[in-house]
Amino acid sequence: MNTNWWKNAIMYQIYPRSFKDSNGDGIGDICGIIEKIDYIADLGVDLIWLGPVYESPNDDNGYDISDYYKIHPEFGTMDDFQELLSQLHDRGIRLIMDLVVNHSSDEHRWFEESRKSKDNPYRDYYIWKDGKHGGPPNNWQAFFGGPAWEYDEHTDQWYHHLFTVKQPDLNWENPKVREEVYSMMRYWLDMGVDGFRMDVISLISKRLEYADTPVDNLMYQVNNYNANGPRIHEFLQEMNREVLSKYDIMTVGEGPGITKELANLYIGKDRNELNMLFQLELMFMDNGPGGKFDKQEINLEDFKKLFREWDEAVGDQGWNNIFLDNHDFPRMVSRFGNDDNYRYEAATLLATFLLTMKGTPCIYQGSEIGMTNVAFESIEDYRDIETIHYWEESLANNADMGDVMRRIHIQGRDNVRTPIQWNDSEHGGFTSGTPWIKVNPNYSSINVEADQSSDKSILKFYKKLIALRKANPTFVLGSFDDLLPDHEQLYIFERKDEHDSYLIALNFSDETVIIPMDLGSYVSIFSNYEEYIESNLRPWQANILKKVT
């Protein structure tokens, strides 16, 4: 069934709450996406990953689902969804949905039943345990703070939740749970959906000993006690056999703890599990001993090493996905580039990397116009549950709150959740009402309209680059070779097949840097600077060169 079309695809991630509001309630919605469908089509992308639009009490912005078969009314109706799907398909664009099945909402009917009594037929849909010494069953922490267990007085037991208390983990040991998930997947696929992005799929198989972790560190716990559990591959193979293999679709798995050594167990050709992964290693690379808000500097050598090693590890058995930001991590131009005096150059350089590196690229909404991180002054303006938990925990620990706010500005998830800046009218043209989260104040200068009419248009650069990639299969299937692994500022790599050879030369710095290689046999075919000087790269210059034969 599977025709591998996804290798050629160019993905675009839509975070629906923040894309475009069509009815003035301040919340982005499906009709808003339809309004902007030509914008998406003009960009040249051909695969949309739509964040969760299911019914949800929104404790974690839709990653807590209370009905997997319904569209949340704030996003629109099922008719709106089907209209979006068919309008995308008319334009040759596919759509994948978020599949969030490590946990549901505590307001899902299954959980409401489950908590009623120990012998309720839904009891085993979730993970219930007796406490230990008057406390939780073990010492695991939840992702967004606090213990990974919640006490429920009614039946005097604790339920397991790796995320918030409103996101109880589903019990995948129970075959009925798995059958429910597969039926639900068939429902969407039969409607014409083209696949799934699988949320924290690495966490679904639990280690049934529920043993204490000896180290007080969330990432250590996740990697050693929660991720890649004993039955994960059995479950994914079953899912593939029962559902995925019956459709010409694509799947991309997300989840912490999937290292490059384990990657091909999930995506290897002969494994019959998933097609590709969002590798999170890069996203977690700057986390210090204190976690994500304890940001450490990462250098270009480490960045390059990671992509080199993932390419080698995946080899010709698997397939990578390439992304530099999404709804959970800071804006790529702020994190890996320069969002100040070289914003145009850095945003286009990162675009060049995304779209010429080996793997299926994924562009996060707004990054195609170089949107940046935001720095709200007051915690009142933040919405993300992770950020709010971190703030409250820090307050309780008497932390230096100025410092805490600085850390939120750098690493918080709301950096990427502010609304798309469409124009310079109030609220960036996102809504005629009051937006659910404030628009980044830089919308008056950074917005789609302004970008389009600028002679330094990031959007136009993306379009040309996407067209270039589509016209040259070497960028998709050609080999990848890192030519300067140890250089501190330059990333120069080669993409090559039997027809063509390209060099991608990128300067990840604010200085002009001499190229320590002879590029005499190459001509520059694409750049974010007008003039091309063979011997050096200007600040954040990106050049694509083609070998002359």
Identify what 23 binds: ligand ISL, Ca ion, none; CB under 5 to 8 Å per kind: Ca ion
**Residue whose CB is less far from Ca ion, 28 or 478:** 28
Residue 370 C-beta: closest distance to ligand ISL, Å? 22
**Residue whose CB is less far from Ca ion, 17 or 495:** 17
Q: Judged by CB under 6 A, does residue 218 bind ligand ISL?
A: no
Identify what 143 binds: Ca ion, ligand ISL, none; CB under 5 to 8 Å per kind: ligand ISL
**Window 191-210: residues binding ligand ISL (CB under 6 A):** 199-200
Residue 18 C-beta: closest distance to Ca ion, Å? 11
- Residue 179 annotated to the active site: no
**Residue whose CB is less far from ligand ISL, 172 or 475:** 172
Closest CA to 8 of 358, 253, 277, 325: 358
**Residue whose CB is less far from Ca ion, 27 or 142:** 27
Kindly write out the interface string for residues 375-414 of this chain, putting x where it contacts ligand ISL by CB under 6 A and - elsewhere.
-----------x--------------------------x-
* Size of residue set near ligand ISL by CB under 6 A: 14
What residues make contact with Ca ion under the rule CB under 5 A?
A: 21, 23, 25, 27, 29
For residue 55, what are the β-bridge partners? 67
Calpha distance 378→397 (Å, rounded): 19
417, 364 Cβ separation under 8 angstroms: no
**Residue whose CB is less far from Ca ion, 30 or 476:** 30
- Catalytic residue, chosen from 74, 169, 199, 339, is 199
Residue 284 C-beta: closest distance to ligand ISL, Å? 7
414, 391 Cβ separation under 8 angstroms: no
**Window 232-291: residues binding ligand ISL (CB under 6 A):** 256, 280
Q: Residue 188 to residues 9, 48, 175, 198: CA-CA distances in angstroms?
A: 21, 15, 20, 14
Instruction: Return the residue matching tokens 């109030």.
Output: 426
List of E strands, 166-224: 195-198
- Catalytic residue, chosen from 254, 286, 328, 345, is 254
SS (HEC) of 258-318: CCHHHHHHHHCHHHCCCCEEECCHHHHCCEECCEEEEECCCCHHHHHHHHHHHHHHHCCCC
Going by C-beta distance under 8 Å and a sequence separation of 6 or more, which residues neighbour residue 187?
A: 69
Residue 24 C-beta: closest distance to ligand ISL, Å? 26
Compute the half-sphere exposure of residue 384: CA atoms within 13 Å on the CB side of its CA: 22
Calpha distance 15→27 (Å, rounded): 11
10, 361 Cβ separation under 8 angstroms: yes
Is residue 220 classed as helix, strand or coil in its secondary structure? helix
Q: Judged by CB under 6 A, does residue 60 bind ligand ISL?
A: yes
**Window 112-151: residues binding ligand ISL (CB under 6 A):** 143
Identify what 29 binds: ligand ISL, Ca ion, none; CB under 5 to 8 Å per kind: Ca ion
For residue 502, what are the β-bridge partners? 495, 546
Identify what 273 binds: ligand ISL, Ca ion, none; CB under 5 to 8 Å per kind: none
- Residue 254 annotated to the active site: yes
Kindly write out the interface string for residues 154-173 of this chain, putting x where it contacts ligand ISL by CB under 6 A and - elsewhere.
---------x----------
162 DSSP 8-state letter = S
Calpha distance 193→85 (Å, rounded): 7
For residue 514, what are the β-bridge partners? 536
Binding site for ligand ISL (CB under 6 A): 60, 63, 100, 143, 163, 199-200, 256, 280, 292, 327-328, 386, 413
* Catalytic (active-site) positions: 199, 254
